[in-house]
Amino acid sequence: MRLNKFISETGVCSRRQADAWIEAGRVTINGTVATLGTQVADGDAVCVDGQQVGAAKAHVYIALNKPVGITCTTEQHVEGNVVDFIGHRERIFPIGRLDKESEGLILLTNHGDIVNEILRSENEHEKEYVVMVERYVTELFLNAMASGVRILGTVTKPCIVERVGGYMFKIILTQGLNRQIRRMCSFFGYKILRLQRVRIMNITLAGLKVGQWRDLTPAEVRALVPVSTLDD
């Protein structure tokens, strides 16, 4: 693991601050002054100003079945924020967002390096939702939603949309525009009564009741996180 990453993951500072400390000669590994880009191996003693810093924290990956009314933010002054709702011992944050009025799957982690990788639109990671609207879902509506809708000054990417019931449909997106499904439905005059995310890539809500969370399995983590960010 790179030295700046090791220091930041002990919780004492950010990577940028760690780099500044290293450049200033304040960091040693096994008694030797370190340089930028130095790698830390298991058992190495890393010290800042002569004081040893703890071992890097283990990465945490969580799946939460978010209830309606919980806000996906780390801002603790926001009532009902997702971090306080979970109350995890580690400092975690949500990967992406799920509207306060929406429910379902949201992922959280303390591994900052993976967030941009997961959210990057060109990677086209699938997110699946089940949506209930206030009036009958027509074939015309489903086809139009799947073909792309003009919102927020752009046209949404083609997506998979299938009927679930008279007033319900499933939609699989590979992008994440702000309030995308709600804006798409509104374009055609449909009002959403319930919006639930049921899957992100290989991770589903299976076995999770509303308000419950669980750690991801090793297999889920391997599929979710690029090997390069797991190992560096």
pLDDT > 60? residue 229: no
Tens-digit pLDDT profile for residues 87-117: 998 888 898 889 999 999 999 998 876 776 6
Same domain for 24 and 65, yes or no, is no
How many domains is the chain partitioned into structurally? 3
Tell me the residue range of the domain where 28 lies: 3-52
pLDDT at 31: 92
Tell me the pTM. Answer: 0.77
Full DSSP string of 129-165:
EEEEESS---HHHHHHHHH--EETTEEPPP-EEEEEE
Question: Same structural domain for residues 108 and 218?
Answer: yes
- What positions carry a catalytic annotation? 99
Query: Which stretches does DSSP call E strand in the chain?
Result: 27-29, 32-33, 46-48, 51-52, 61-66, 93-95, 103-109, 127-133, 150-151, 154-155, 160-165, 168-173, 192-200, 203-204, 213-215
* Exposure on the CB side of residue 216, measured as CA atoms within 13 A: 24
Q: In whole angstroms, what is the distance from residue 206 CA to residue 91 CA?
A: 25
Q: How far is the CA of 129 from the CAs of 107, 205, 219, in angstroms?
A: 15, 11, 23
Q: 108 and 223 in one domain?
A: yes
Least confident of 24-28, 49-53, 184-188: 49-53
Q: What is the CATH number of the domain that holds 11?
A: 3.10.290.10
Mean pLDDT of 69-76: 92
pLDDT digits (tens, 9 = 90+) for 155-166: 999 999 999 999
> Closest by alpha carbon to 199, among 101, 126, 102, 133?
126
Q: For residue 160, give the CATH number of its domain.
A: 3.30.70.1560
- Higher confidence at residue 57 or residue 68? 68
